[in-house]
A and B are shown apart, each in its own frame.
Chain A
Amino acid sequence: MDSATVKDNREEWKKECERVATAIRRRVLQYTIRNNGGYLSQACSSAEILATLYMRVMNLGPSLGPRVPRPFAGVPGRENPNAFTGAEYNGPRGAHWDRFIFSPVHYALVLYATLIEVGRLGPDALDHFNQDGSTLELIGAEHSPGHEVTAGSLGQAVSQAGGIALARKLRGDSGRVWVFMSDGEFQEGQVWEAVAASTHYRLSNLGVYVDVNGQCCDGKIQDVMATEPLGDRLRSFGASVREVDGHDVEKLAQAATVEEKDKPLVVLARTDPCRGIELMRKRAPFFHYIRFKSDDERLEYEALLKNE
């Protein structure tokens, strides 16, 4: 896809973005069925957010990662010069390029699918998904494609992104630092520490997209530990907040263009955890990890793939 053409034609880019979002959901559904379980609801809620980030919001250079993902080369350490991060899939580093920090790494499959759909990872890359010795782990870490930090202990990535944004501000880089988060992470105290520090240091080069699907592992966030009103809470901490329909790619893209002077940006993307897969609603309020309870149930989900 030629990005200049897309920018010229508003309807074209929107359609392409929506097509990619639909393809992300479909691919995640395929691998959830193949894997006999997976983080499917996360794809339903976040497909448009990740598609819009990669296709419209982030200023990333071409991927430097191999289309067939490299096998795991070991954890970073004194004795291991071969360790790498998955940031290579987000393009080269440079003062004017944006950076992407992926926080809720339980969404890893959604990110892998996104990278495939936007052409940063080969179409067969998911053959390696959840295989021993692969970097395409079920819960991603910094070696997984598209990931740059080890964020599985939730709420830690936004602090690391804050440090990166501060370093870039000190250096005078023009590129921004984008973070993708889930709303469940706002139950962690560290996230609020990070918001406070980012507003204190006026990190306007930091932008956070939050998948506000209202869900966490134990069910509905409002029942487990309420985080709302998230927008008011964030505003009271001094952040610049935009609240948008998280399935509307145009509104998602627009939110990024507003840069309030001296304030970090938080885009609250309000989403539906079952978007595109109505069948899943009967599992309410538990959507964290979809494990098929019977062959019949699995067949019901398989039928969704055939119907399209």
Chain B
Amino acid sequence: MEVIARPHAKNLVRWAKDRPEVLVLSADLTSSCEANDFRDAYPERFFSLGLAEQNMMGFAAGLAREGFIPLVHTFAVFICRRAFDQVAMSIGYSNLKVRLLGFLPGITTPGGATHQAIDDVGLMRLIPNMNILECADATEVESVLDVAQALEGPVYMRMLRGDVPRLFPQDEPMRFNRARVISEGYDLTLLSSGICTEEALRVTCALRQRDIHINHLHISTLKPFSDPNVLNALKAARKGVVTLENHNVIGGLGSAVAELMAEAGIRGPLVRLGIKDQYAHGASRPYLMRKFGLDAAALLEAVSGLLGRGVRIRTEDLPQDLPGVSSKASIKAEDL
């Protein structure tokens, strides 16, 4: 399947062309966040704020108060951890139209714990007024700015960079607070987000051949989390619910689902796959996905457990190149 090189870089230039109020702010990671094409195309709308994220959030807030739309580009960790108070108080409180583009979500980087945002969704969920979107493929990277643009308040986006696979058709863009129904079935409900959806697709495809039908929803809006289709899918699950995310199981998709199930009185097991409340470290993406149980093998194991029987699929049997799925997409070390 198709892999798109630097989809954000190209899309940003196209998208911002006739939007003179759109500015890009960067904290010395311009190429690393694929904002360099924008910088070269519209230098008068590009502002380098240096390695100073706290101040960058304040500048973004001030610019937004004046009617500009700042797109803040840096790594997710530096938005959510380093400048949390500034995001909460200078931007979130005032419900300002600032767009925060967080790159290197979870273990998508070999850069180690300092660069791996395993807590960003949880931190941003705690900020009132904040909207949270997460990209899983090139189609979502190309449509996430449109979804954000329609929202009046602040938006945090989990971005992908480099070689990004296209899982979803280009004419089916991301939609706000709408889960993407990937497959239907009543045995289990599976909710996945971000890069984990690609892993999940491999598993659900193989299970279908064994006549096991999974209700698989792909989540791209993590806050608000009020899509009625999600609630219905949770209610319909006969044997349980699985969440799969590139994040700590505390605070992210798994937590949001647990809260929804508890409040709606939905009984039945919930298995949250994700990083189990520990720091990751610097290594390749496939290695880390295996180690922390974010991959197809971990999902197969969880499904077997919930169904009460082995699903008799070995990981070697999983499709390597799904219609549309490639395992080749990765970040090169030299991009760090």
Q: Do A and B come from one complex?
A: yes
A residues sitting closer than 8 Å to B (CB atoms) are 75-78, 83, 141-142, 149-150, 152-153, 156-168, 170-171, 189-190, 193-194, 196-197, 200-201
Identify which of residues 34-72 in chain B touch chain A, using a CB-to-CB cut-off of 8 Å: 47, 49-50, 52, 54-68, 70
Q: Shortest Cβ distance from A14 into chain B, in angstroms?
A: 34
A164 CB contact (under 8 Å) in B54, B65, B85, B95: B65
Tell me which residues across on chain B come within 8 A of A168, comparing CB atoms.
66
B58 touches A158 (CB 8 A): yes
**CB of B86 closer than 8 Å to a CB of A:** yes
Given contacts A78-B153, A167-B67, 10 further A-B contacts (CB under 8 A): A76-B93, A76-B95, A149-B65, A150-B93, A156-B86, A160-B65, A166-B59, A190-B52, A193-B52, A196-B52
Query: Could you give 30 example pairs across A and B, Cβ below 8 Å?
Result: A76-B94, A76-B129, A77-B129, A78-B129, A78-B152, A78-B153, A83-B95, A142-B93, A142-B94, A149-B65, A149-B94, A159-B55, A159-B56, A159-B57, A159-B90, A162-B59, A163-B66, A164-B63, A166-B47, A166-B62, A166-B63, A167-B63, A167-B65, A171-B66, A189-B54, A190-B52, A190-B55, A190-B58, A194-B58, A197-B49
A165 touches B58 (CB 8 A): no
Identify which of residues 81-105 in chain B touch chain A, using a CB-to-CB cut-off of 8 Å: 85-86, 89-90, 93-95
B residues sitting closer than 8 Å to A (CB atoms) are 47, 49-50, 52, 54-68, 70, 85-86, 89-90, 93-95, 128-129, 152-153
Closest chain B residue, CB of each to CB of A200 = B50
Closest chain B residue, CB of each to CB of A195 = B55
Tell me which residues across on chain A come within 8 A of B65, comparing CB atoms.
149, 160, 163-164, 167
Q: A150-B93, A165-B62, A190-B55 in contact; A159/B86 too (CB < 8 A)?
A: yes
Tell me which residues across on chain B come within 8 A of A141, comparing CB atoms.
93
A149 CB contact (under 8 Å) in B54, B67, B90, B153: B90
A163 touches B62 (CB 8 A): yes
A159 touches B58 (CB 8 A): yes
B90 touches A161 (CB 8 A): no
CA distance A193 to B78 in the complex (A): 15
A156 touches B52 (CB 8 A): no
CA distance A223 to B23 in the complex (A): 42
Tell me which residues across on chain A come within 8 A of B55, comparing CB atoms.
159, 162, 190, 193-194, 196-197
Question: Would you list the 5 A-B pairs with minimal beta carbon distance, nearest first?
Answer: A163-B62, A159-B58, A167-B66, A193-B55, A193-B52
Closest chain A residue, CB of each to CB of B152 = A78
Closest chain B residue, CB of each to CB of A148 = B65
CA distance A152 to B85 in the complex (A): 11
Tell me which residues across on chain B come within 8 A of A142, comparing CB atoms.
93-94
CA distance A150 to B139 in the complex (A): 37
CA distance A152 to B335 in the complex (A): 39
A162 touches B68 (CB 8 A): no
B85 touches A153 (CB 8 A): yes
Closest chain B residue, CB of each to CB of A188 = B54
Q: A165-B62, A167-B62 in contact; A159/B54 too (CB < 8 A)?
A: yes
Q: Shortest Cβ distance from A204 into chain B, in angstroms?
A: 16
CA distance A161 to B63 in the complex (A): 9
